[in-house]
Structures are given as C-alpha cells and as structure tokens.
Amino acid sequence: MKRLRWIPAMIVVTMLAGCVPSLKNDTEVVQSDAKDKEEATIIPNMQIDDQYYRTLLPYKASASRGLIVSNIYSKYDITEAESGLLRLSQKAFDPGKYFFQEGQYIDKETASSWLARSSQTDDGLNPATTKSMSPTERAKKAPIYLAHIVEQNYLEKAGKNKVKLAGVSIGLALNSIYYYQKEDYGATYEEPIPEPVLTKQGEKIAAQVIQRLRQKEGLENVPMVVGLFKQQSRSSIVPGTYISYGIVDEGSNKISEWKSVKEEYVLFPTNDSEENYREMNQYFKFFKQDIEKYFSNYTNVIGTGFYQDNKIKKLNIDIPIKFYGTSEIIGFTQFMAGAVIDQFPKGLKVEVNVTSVNGPEALVVKDANSSEPYIHIYND
C-alpha cells in the first residue's frame, strides 16, 4: 500500500481559511459603471491558481440571477454552462490581468423577454408560432432553440486605484432536444435537434445578441467572447459542453470566425468502443473490481471523465456507500485511495467523493503527477 497523506478536518478548515484573502493585504479600488457612478470595491490579494480569476468584493450577483435554474434542465448543465464559459473567457481575458464579476448588463426582465418566442415579445429570440400550428408542427418547424443566456463581466485596472469593465462573455445555452405535449397534462414527447441545425440557429441568435449588447451604455466597444452551449437531455447524468465560440473584437459588432470547442464528458464504465475511451475504461474497470473484491457493501461506482481535444484531463468518481461505522468508512477510504494510486495513470487528476444517506463521508484527490492523494474524512 502506498503512503497516504491525511488531512484531518481541522487542517482542512485551516487550508480553506487560507484561501480566503486577508483584507489587510487586499487592494481597495474604485469601480466605475456605465453611468459614471463610482463605488468602492476590493481586489483580493490571493489568486488560488493561475486558471482562476480573482473576484471583486463585495460580490455582485448576476442581474438575471435565478433564471438559470428554471431554464436549464439539469444541475450538471447549470454548472457547466457557467464554468465552461470561464474556460472560454481565458482565450481572450488573461486571469492574471482581469478580474471576474457576474453579469450586470442583462437583467432578469431583459433575459426573460429575449428568451421568449418572437410571437410572444417584440424582442424574443426564439422562432415565432401561430395558433394554427399543432404541437407537433411547432416541435418540427419552430422548436425553442435558446434556453438561457449566461453573462460574465471582466474588469481590469484603470490607473492606480480604479478598475473598469474591459470585456464581456456570453454563453448561449441551446436545447439539443425540444420537449412538448400534444395535449394538456398528456405524455411528453421529444424532438431531437441536430447539431448542425443547432449551430446555425445559435450563430444567428448570437449575431442578434451582439447587436443588442452594443446598444447598451458601457458595452459599445468592449471585446466579447460568445459561446454556444449544447444542453444534454433531461435524464442525462453528465453535463453538456460548449460546441463553438467566437470573439468580438473591440469596437466590432460581429464575430469574424467561429471556432470549434473539443470538450466532452464521458460516463464510466462505458460501452462505447471508441479508442479514445477504451484505455481509460479499462483502468476504471480494474479500479471498480478492486473495490468490489474487498468491499461489497456499496451501491455503485460511477466515473465522469472530462476530455479536451480528445485527451482526458480529469476523472471524477462518485461512490455511494451503505456503511454506518466510522472505522468502516476510514478503512474503505484508505483502501480506495491506494487503489486510485495503483490503477490510474500518474498524470491524471482523479477526485473521488464517497457519500451515504447522511451526506458526504470522504474525499480523495490525486493531483496530476502526484504520488500521494489528499484524503479527508468528514466528521472525523
């Protein structure tokens, strides 16, 4: 068994507290909005990692907060629509230079109006329908393509003690399946939307959104990143991903080139025979067999691999268990952490969450190229 590095609860709390910036070392600056109103804000001194943006304080929630929960099908897509847009934003806004703020320009009323059909509101971005169209006709000829709009703002320093808006990212969450009913309270039917159609419609909607944003005070000239996010089905337990993105240059009102995004989430174990997944699927099966051999008192082992450019970058594993004793959970976690080291490639980041009906029980994280996992037993 490999040597394991344990992190007791007290140490974990201390580490997390260390990630919270000390106000003594933070920078207090003035933020100006589109109407030249100024307010004091704080730039955290600490940046957890060079891939994460520092967030201005006090934290400002999105102007359209709450809509994403009702408009996007699953919690997996809700998370990925936002985190995926953060990754795309790095292509234009360097995390070392820019600061993050949730979107402040598209408010809830505006977003709701834009998400409607053009026959429902004057500025609806989804296809119009008529009363004479049957539900099936709507599904085939005029499905709702746009489900939600995610906005993110990026600011930069403007002088010694000021920050200003320097960029905007927009994520357009698109439906890959249109759900409809032929009669009230009747069965729900599905109409798949082919990706080429979705991409074409998404690019058309993006052009309209860009034109509208350029008309807003403060957004006339800032660079923009626009991404097309393809939602998964309601029943999917893996998130969708962005399928393409484009950059709107400073002062421009259009995207000159759309670029493909090669990202994908894959569920393990998988029956997919594609070569990209075959080797990782074998590693996962060996890991699963190790768990089954020594510990039978669990529900299942499910893995979700995140792929970029056809290469796996991270593997998340969820293990729901039925154990009740603390000693049993500790023993299981210790064995499982060793199996993570033994069965998966050293260069792969692996995170394992062990849960029960009582909530989270244990966390194991093996960073890429690390020979020792971090282990935390909750409530120990």
The answer, yes or no, to whether residue 1 has pLDDT greater than 70, is no
What pLDDT digit, counting tens, does each position of 267-319 carry? 999 987 678 899 999 999 999 999 888 777 666 899 999 999 999 999 999 99
How far apart CA 183 and CA 100 sit, in angstroms, is 45
For residue 51, CA distances in Å to 83, 94, 97, 109, 115 come to 12, 9, 11, 33, 31
Q: In one letter, which amino acid is 99?
A: F
The answer, yes or no, to whether residue 27 has pLDDT greater than 90, is no
| Contacts with 333 (C-beta within 8 Å, 6 or more apart), sequence order | 354, 361, 362, 364, 375, 377
Strands of 263-268's sheet in order across: 5-6, 374-377, 359-366, 349-356, 311-320, 302-308, 263-268
Model's pTM, two decimal places?
Answer: 0.87
Q: In one letter, which amino acid is 369?
A: N
Q: Looking at the structure, give the CATH architecture of the domain made up of residues 11-261.
A: Roll (3.10)
Please tell me the predicted confidence (pLDDT) of residue 294: 77
**Assigned CATH class of 266-377:** alpha beta
Q: What is the CA radius of gyration of the chain?
A: 23
What pLDDT digit, counting tens, does each position of 131-147 carry? 999 999 999 999 999 99
Percent of the chain with pLDDT over 90: 68
Please tell me the predicted confidence (pLDDT) of residue 271: 86
Please tell me the predicted confidence (pLDDT) of residue 47: 66
Given pLDDT bands bounded at 50, 70 and 90, which one contains residue 17?
A: very low
Q: Specify the domain boundaries for CATH 3.30.300.190 within the chain.
A: 266-377
How far apart CA 216 and CA 91 sit, in angstroms, is 24
- Within 90-148, where are the H helices? 108-115, 135-141
How far apart CA 235 and CA 211 sit, in angstroms, is 35
- Bond from prior residue into 373 cis (ω within 30 degrees of 0): no
What the block records as the tokens of 207 is 């052009």
Given pLDDT bands bounded at 50, 70 and 90, which one contains residue 101?
A: very high
What pLDDT digit, counting tens, does each position of 156-206 carry? 998 778 899 999 999 999 999 999 999 989 999 999 999 999 999 999 999
Query: In the predicted model, what is the mean pLDDT of the chain?
Result: 88
Is the CB of residue 278 less than 8 Å from the CB of residue 267?
Answer: no
Q: Specify the domain boundaries for CATH 3.10.570.10 within the chain.
A: 11-261
What the block records as the tokens of 75 is 């919690």
Please tell me the predicted confidence (pLDDT) of residue 22: 44
For residue 22, CA distances in Å to 28, 44, 97 come to 12, 8, 20
For residue 335, CA distances in Å to 28, 71, 236, 290, 357 come to 48, 42, 30, 9, 21
The answer, yes or no, to whether residue 325 has pLDDT greater than 90, is no
Is the CB of residue 245 less than 8 Å from the CB of residue 258?
Answer: yes
The answer, yes or no, to whether residue 63 has pLDDT greater than 80, is yes
Please tell me the predicted confidence (pLDDT) of residue 28: 62
Please tell me the predicted confidence (pLDDT) of residue 276: 82
Is the CB of residue 239 less than 8 Å from the CB of residue 74?
Answer: yes
